[in-house]
Amino acid sequence: MQLSRSCLIVALGLTTFTAAALAQTAPTKPVKRSVPPQLVALTPPMGWNSWNYFAGKVTDQDIRNAADEIVSSGMKDAGYIYVNIDDTWEGDRDADGVLHTNSKFPDMKALADYVHSKGLKLGIYSSPGPKTCAGFEASLGHEVQDAQLYASWGIDYLKYDLCSYIPEVMYKQAPNDAGARMKLMIGAYDKMHKALAATGRPMVFSLCQYGWDAVWEWGPSVGANLWRATDDIQPDWNSIYTLLNEQQGLAKYAGPGHWNDPDMLEVGNGRLSLAENRTHFSMWAMLAAPLLAGNDLPHMKPEIKAILTNRDVIAIDQDKLGREATHVYSDGEVDVWVRHLAGGATAVAVLNAGSDRTTNHPFHLDLARLGLHGAQKGKDLWTGKDIELTQNMPLEIPSHDILLVRIAQPK
Ligand code: GAL
C-alpha cells in the first residue's frame, strides 16, 4: 500500500511539520551512474554563456572580452568561473573526421589557454545529432573523436543539445515508438558521457533536451551534472515566471554534482525591470540553478553588476547542502518558497507576481505554514539589513519584486 504524503505525516505524528517542511528534509534521490562520477559541479556551475546575448554572432574576441570582464568586474571573485561558447563555433570535418573551428574561432587551443590564464575555465557546445540547433556540424558518429578534441584543447564543460538528433535519428529509426525514441536519446547522452570520461579530463556535462522524458530521473545515470528542465528562456517576465513554476516538484532530483537547469540567466537582457532582474536572480539561487550569466559583460550597467555579484544571494545558490527550494504556498499572486541550507539555516523568498502590494493592501506572511514558529531574526539579502519576520506580518512588495531573507537559526 502506498501512503499519500499527508497520510504519512499523520501516521508519523508529525503534527508540527507542514508537508513542505517534510519535503525539504527528504533526502535527494540516490544516483546510479554508468561510469564513476567526476568531481565537478559539486555546487551549481557559475559562469557566463554566449547564447543569450550574442547567439550566432559570437566570436573568439567576444569570448576573450567576456573573460576579461568577468575578472575586472569582480564576477570571478564572486564565483563565476566557466566561460561557455554556445552554438556556431563549428567548422567542417577533414578527411579523417577531425572537426575544425570556423573562421570566427581561428584557434580554439589558444583561446582556451587565454581563458585559463585568467584563472577561468572554458566551455563548449555540441549536439548528438548530425547538426547543431543552428545548423552547424555536430557529433553524430564522432563522439569519441570530438571528446578527445575537446580534451586536447583544454575544454572544461560541454553543453550537449538534442536538436537534429530528434528528426534525424529518433524519428527516422523509431517513427511509431515513443519509448524507443526515448531510449535512443538516453543512449546518445550516455555515449558522449562515456567518451568524455574516457578522456580522463574532468568536464562538466550539461544536457540540453528541454526537460523531455523526465530527464531529472535518468540524467545522473548518464553522467549529467545538469540538465535543462525547461524550454528556452526569453528575457521577459512571462518566460522567467513560467520556467520558475515548472521547477515545482523537481527539488528532490537536485544535489551535489547533478542539478536541475531552468536555463541560463537573462539578468541584464531584454526589457526586464530591475525588480524582475532581482527576482530572476534570487529565484535561480533558491532553485540551486546553474548561474550562467548571459548578458553583454563589457557594457554591463552598475545595477546589473550589483545583482550578479550579490554575495549573499550567490551563497544561497552555492550552499553546500545542495537542496533546491520548494514552493510552500501561494496566496493570490504572491508565492512563498523556502530553501533548507547547511548548518540548519533557511532562506525564505516571498515573490509578488501581481501588482504592487503597498501599505493599504500588504501581503501577510504566514510563517506557521513554513514550519516556523514565533519571531525569526534574519537578513534581507537585497537591502543587506537585519529583518525580523513575525507571524502574519504585513509586507509591502512591489510588482514582480521579491523579499529574500536568510534566517541563520530558524525556530
Ligand atoms: C537551443 C538551446 C539554446 C541554445 C541554442 C543554440 O536548443 O536551448 O540554449 O544553445 O539551441 O542553437
Residue 11 has pLDDT above 70, yes or no: no
Most informative mutation of 53, 54, 84, 86 for ligand 1 (most atoms within 8 A of CB): 86
Confidence of residue 85 (pLDDT cuts 50, 70, 90): very high
The SS3 assignment for 207 reads strand
Q: What is the mean pLDDT of residues 267-276?
A: 98
Pocket of ligand 1 contains residue 124 by CB under 6 Å: no
- Report, as an integer, the average pLDDT of 74-80: 98
| Protein residue whose Cα sits closest to atom 7 of ligand 1 | 133
Predicted confidence (pLDDT) at residue 10 exceeds the cutoff of 70: no
State the amino acid at position 394 in one-letter form. Answer: P
**Closest ligand 1 atom number to CA of residue 231:** 8
- Mean pLDDT in residue range 343-349: 98
| Mean pLDDT value of segment 313-342 | 98
Share of the chain above pLDDT 70, in %: 91
Instruction: Report in angstroms the alpha-carbon separations of 17 from 9, 25, 38, 368, 408.
Output: 8, 10, 37, 9, 19
Does the pLDDT at position 1 exceed 90? no
d(CA 89, ligand 1 centre) in Å: 13
Does position 29 have pLDDT exceeding 90, yes or no?
Answer: no
Cα of 207 to ligand 1 centre, how many Å?
11
pLDDT, greater one: 36 or 206: 206
Side chain identity, residue 1: M
Which atom from ligand 1 is nearest to the alpha carbon of 134? Answer: 12
pLDDT of residue 7: 28
Which is the closest atom of ligand 1 to the Cα of 162?
7
Give pLDDT tens digits for 172-191.
999 999 999 999 999 999 99
Percent of the chain with pLDDT over 90: 90
- Residue 14: the pLDDT is 27
**Four-residue CA torsion sign, 321, 322, 323, 327:** positive
Ligand 1 within 6 A of 51 CB? yes
Q: Quick check: 16 pLDDT over 50?
A: no
Beta carbon of 161 within 6 Å of any ligand 1 atom:
yes
333 ligand 1 Cβ < 6 A: no
How much distance in Å is there from the Cα of 230 to the middle of ligand 1? 12
| Per-residue 3-state assignment (H helix, E strand, C coil) for 86-101 | CCCCEEEECCCCCEEE
Poorest-confidence range of 16-20, 70-74, 143-147, 388-392?
16-20
- Confidence at 31, pLDDT banded by 50, 70, 90: low
Q: Does residue 133 line the site of ligand 1, with CB under 6 A?
A: yes
Higher pLDDT, 34 or 379: 379
Cell numbers standing for residue 347:
532562506
Taking CB atoms within 8 Å and a gap of at least 24, the contacts of 209-217 are: 209/161, 209/162, 209/185, 210/162, 211/246, 212/162, 212/182, 212/185, 213/182, 213/185, 213/186, 216/250, 216/253, 216/254, 216/260, 217/253
**pLDDT digits 0-9 by tens, 224-235:** 999 999 999 999
Active site residues: 161, 232
C-beta 87 within 6 A of ligand 1: yes
| Helices (H) then strands (E): counts for the chain | 15, 18
Q: For residue range 33-76, what is the model confidence (pLDDT) as tens digits? A: 666 666 899 999 999 999 999 999 999 999 999 999 999 999 99
Q: Report how far ligand 1's centroid is from the alpha carbon of 126 (Å).
A: 10
Sheet holding 291-293, edge to edge: 259-261, 226-228, 204-208, 157-161, 121-126, 82-84, 46-49, 291-293
Between vectors from CA 327 to CA 159 and to CA 281, what angle results, nearest 5°? 50
pLDDT tens for 89-141 read 999 999 999 999 999 999 999 999 999 999 999 999 999 999 999 999 999 99
Q: How high does pLDDT run on average in the chain? A: 92
Cα–Cα distance, 269 to 300 (Å, whole number): 10
User: Candidates 51, 53, 263, 264: which one to mutate for ligand 1, based on the most atoms within 8 Å of Cβ?
Assistant: 51
**CA 71, 120, 406, 331 torsion-angle sign:** positive
Question: What cell was used for 33?
Answer: 551512474
